[in-house]
Amino acid sequence: DAKTTQPNSMESNEEEPVHLPCNHSTISGTDYIHWYRQLPSQGPEYVIHGLTSNVNNRMASLAIAEDRKSSTLILHRATLRDAAVYYCILNYGGSQGNLIFGKGTKLSVKP
């Protein structure tokens, strides 16, 4: 299975943009890129997903490199509520479409 690599942690200031990187150099042509996040003491939350083109939704933007070997989740204005662990995954990983998380990036947001 294709693997992803993310930094262990990042810091941001409130109301500034945050760019969370993910490397997936062994991605195949049919692999979708998915992002989830998990706030403390809560269940995971779907953020965004895409295949080739950049994607935007009300939560975030996903920028996908032209060769698809990397992607960046963009939070346009970080809030304290965005402090969470962010997971970048390809095609969920499990044989039954179940999620398999790596270590993710722990994002801290400073007031």
Partner 1 sequence: DVKVTQSSRYLVKRTGEKVFLECVQDMDHENMFWYRQDPGLGLRLIYFSYDVKMKEKGDIPEGYSVSREKKERFSLILESASTNQTSMYLCASSESGTRQPQHFGDGTRLSIL
The minimum distance between CB 96 and partner 1, in angstroms, equals 5
Stretch that binds partner 1, among 13-21, 44-52, 62-70, 71-79 (CB under 8 A): 44-52
Residue 58 exposure: Cα atoms within 13 Å on the Cβ side: 0
Decide: is 68 part of the binding site for partner 1 (CB under 8 A): no
Q: State how far the Cα of 41 lies from the Cα of 106, in Å rounded to an integer.
A: 14
Decide: is 100 part of the binding site for partner 1 (CB under 8 A): yes
Q: State how far the Cα of 65 lies from the Cα of 93, in Å rounded to an integer.
A: 21
Q: Which of 8, 40, 42, 67 binds partner 1 (CB under 8 A)?
A: 42
Decide: is 101 part of the binding site for partner 1 (CB under 8 A): yes
Q: State how far the Cα of 109 lies from the Cα of 40, in Å rounded to an integer.
A: 13
CB neighbourhood size of 74 (10 A): 15
The minimum distance between CB 44 and partner 1, in angstroms, equals 5
Closer CB to partner 1, 29 or 43, in the complex? 43
